[in-house]
Amino acid sequence: MRLYIIRHADPDYERDTLTAAGFQEAAALGKRLAAHGLDAIYASPMPRANITAQFAADLLKLPVTIHNWAMEIQGWSYDQIVEEGEAIPVWDIPGHILRADPALFDLERWYHTPPLDSQRIRDDYAALSASLDGLIEKHGYRRNGRHYEVVESNEQQIALFCHNGTALAMLAHLLCAPPPLIWCSFWHAPSSVTTVLFEERGDSLAIPRALSVGDVSHLYEARLPVQPRGIRGNYW
Predicted pLDDT at 91: 97
pLDDT tens per residue across span 13-39? 999 899 999 999 999 999 999 998 999
Percent of residues, the chain, with pLDDT higher than 70: 100
pTM: 0.96
Q: Which CATH number fits domain 2-76+84-221: 3.40.50.10860, 3.40.50.1240, 3.40.50.1170, 3.40.50.2300?
A: 3.40.50.1240
- Over residues 61-72, the mean pLDDT reads 98
* pLDDT value of position 203: 79
Helix (H, G, I), strand (E, B) or coil at 147: strand
Closest to 213 in 3D by CA, of 171, 157, 176, 179: 171
Kind and range of the H or E element at 77?
A: strand 77-83
197 forms bridges with which residues in the sheet? 2, 209
Q: Which H or E run contains 212?
A: strand 205-215
What percentage of the chain carries pLDDT values higher than 90? 94
CA 116 to chain centre: 20
Residue 236 to residue 226: CA distance in whole angstroms: 9
Closest CA to 156 of 42, 7, 27, 28: 42
Predicted confidence at residue 152, as pLDDT, reads 95
pLDDT for position 216 = 98
